[in-house]
Amino acid sequence: MSGILYLVATPIGNLEDISFRAIRILKEVDLIAAEDTRNSIKLLNHYEIKTSMTSYHEFNKYDKAHELVDKLLQGMNIALITDAGTPGISDPGEELVKQALNSGITVSPVPGACAAVNALIISGQNTRRFAFEAFLPGKKKEREEILQTLENETRTIIIYEAPHHLKELLDDLLKHLGNRNLTIVKEITKKHETVFKTNLEEAIAFYKEEEPRGEYVLVIEGKTFEELKKEAQLSWQEQSIKEHYEMYLKEGLESKEAMSKVAKDRGISKRDVYKEVAVK
């Protein structure tokens, strides 16, 4: 019988934030696959966990995943841990999970800390719907494409950032999103934990005077439906009736529904819309 791959969440700062089950699993498995063994050894030593470790990170994730899956198929139980938080979230664990499941191996979570969720719940922003973007791409073209998709995002947006890139990120967000409200959270569960509720313009001004330090999570308000509706109204006012109608077709509406929407937007009859869009 094949072994089990456990995804074990570890503390994101305070070493006390680990479950009894996580400690037991880490002691009982045959092998721990760690993103950074030099970092993880501190946690293992703190809880007197003697299990052997192997390195599994972004630069060996494909080949090493094959090796780990072979060990699992031979019956070994393996625990996957990340530097901090829940493995598989914005880290190479995603690849190992895919390969394990494709090989029929049982994958089991051992829940615990997650920086994105903990930043969200203390942010004061809307928590019902959110979009997690992790770290934005470093390549300019990919980064621009992601930022453009976020311009009309109505869910709360969560982004990770390192201190040396924070100023650049804030500038990019202001350019694409406008002066949105946001909460900047850093050093969650650590001694210098900070929750800074502000807006993008104020944040940019603040970090011109204050050098960023620590690991950051940005929790950004989404665009309201009222804002989207107002923007859509402004856009069709510059269009012809036919262009207005075609805009709704592109959004997936049927012809009759699109004509009804155009008529309602403009305060005219559907007959007037039909005259303009009917094929002649």
- Dihedral sign of CA atoms 161, 165, 167, 173 in order: negative
By C-alpha distance, which of 23, 30, 25 is closest to 73?
Answer: 30
Lowest-pLDDT range, 16-30, 67-81, 132-146, 237-251?
Answer: 237-251
Q: How sure is the predictor about 76, in pLDDT bands with cuts at 50, 70 and 90?
A: very high
pLDDT at 242: 87
pLDDT at 124 over 60: yes
Of the two residues 121 and 277, the one the predictor is more confident about is 121
pLDDT at 120: 98
By C-alpha distance, which of 60, 222, 202, 213 is closest to 155?
Answer: 222
- State the residue for tokens 């040396």: 164
**% of the chain beyond a pLDDT of 70:** 97
pLDDT at 234: 60
CB 152 within 8 A of CB 227: no
- Is 68 in a helix, a strand, or coil? helix
pLDDT at 244: 85
pLDDT at 130: 97
Q: What is the pLDDT of residues 87-111, one digit of tens each?
A: 999 889 999 999 999 999 999 999 9
pLDDT at 226 over 90: no
pLDDT at 279: 61
Q: What is the pLDDT of residues 142-198, one digit of tens each?
A: 999 999 999 989 999 999 999 999 999 999 999 999 999 999 999 999 999 999 999
pLDDT at 231 over 80: no
